[in-house]
Structure 1
């Protein structure tokens, strides 16, 4: 528990980081070093599921009820 009591105050650091990012027109969720690591899987799932939905919607319009083949 001593690590939390005598811990360095990081609020001024992050406050400067986010205020500088706002001046340079960088979105808040893309300002820290971990942002790319956290956003990549999310964006892959988001756009992948959207592309899969659009693909299957097109197949259903054409009368195919499976992902592949004429089934």
Structure 2
């Protein structure tokens, strides 16, 4: 018997994830798995960090400063 690819005899995880995502446990879908933090924390850091940086830059621009720091 020839195996052409590595995932032919892999366990079917669809029923497991269906049960996991259909539970009514009060968690958002993107926080359900144990690995969610590895994706969500960098994402949230970049979203809120860039939002704060943009707001800071806009506030400085309103007051006439065209750089991130200094008086120029």
TM-score by length of 1: 0.89
Paired residues for 1:1-71 under 5 Å: 1=5, 3-20=6-23, 23-71=24-72
> May I ask how many residue pairs the two structures share in their alignment?
68
TM-score by length of 2: 0.88
CA RMSD of aligned residues (A): 0.9
Q: Which runs of 4+ in 1 moved over 3 A?
A: none
User: 2 CA distance for matches of 1:56 and 1:6?
Assistant: 54
Gaps of 5+ in 1: none
Gaps of 5+ in 2: none
